Amino acid sequence: MPKDFQNWVALLANIGTIIALIIAFVTWITWKKQQNYSFVRDKIFEVELVYARLLTSMQNYLNIFKDELPFKPNRIAIEAIDITNVFLREHREDINKYTSQYEDALFRLYILEVKYKEEFVANHSIIHSRFDRYISKLKECKTEEAVLLLHQEFNQLLVDEKMKGLEELQRVRREI
């Protein structure tokens, strides 16, 4: 009987060793996968933060810019409006600062191979070209009513773009 008992104990020990090896291997794979989790999550959050700040600065700029329009012919050239209006200049500096930070943050996501839908989270040049197009269309307005209507439309477009982008970045952050 001791011989049979020893064989059973040896068999159970071998099975236990194999199970422990499998558990250790699965744990190692899980650890390896989650090793950069908090780092990647923080980088995605940085993009969210800078993205929101950039689009909010653009909204603030448009809110002040609309009050300068329609542009009176007896004023300094409209191209110099960022110089003459201190608030516009400050918001333009913020836009430039956040654009640079946004570009860097998106590049970090690219390096980390974080996948997101680019149609919801546009790169900095697309955002800037849209913003510049909004500004040029506002400059073309001849009446205050036209300025207000376009401003409301552009403001809503920026809000929608911001919400879609933030929702996409939050989805990506939850899925990592």
- Sorted by where each begins, the domain ranges of the chain are 1-35, 37-175
Residue-averaged pLDDT of the chain: 89
- The yes-or-no verdict on residue 133 having pLDDT over 50 is yes
Mean pLDDT of 115-124: 91
3-state class of 122 per DSSP? coil
Average pLDDT of span 83-89: 83
CA distance 89 to 95: 10
State the sign of the Cα–Cα–Cα–Cα dihedral 131, 136, 139, 143. negative
What sign does the dihedral 153-158-163-168 (CA atoms) show?
A: positive
**In the predicted model, is pLDDT for residue 2 greater than 60?**
no
Q: What is the DSSP letter of 116?
A: -
pLDDT at 77: 66
Alpha helices in the chain (DSSP H): 2-34, 37-67, 81-84, 86-111, 124-140, 144-175
Q: What does DSSP assign to residue 176?
A: -
Residue of 78, 39, 86 whose CA lies nearest to 61: 86
Tell me phi and psi for residue 52, to 5 degrees: -65, -40
Length of the chain in residues, anyone? 176
Per-residue pLDDT, 90: 93
Provide mean pLDDT across the span 102-108.
Answer: 96
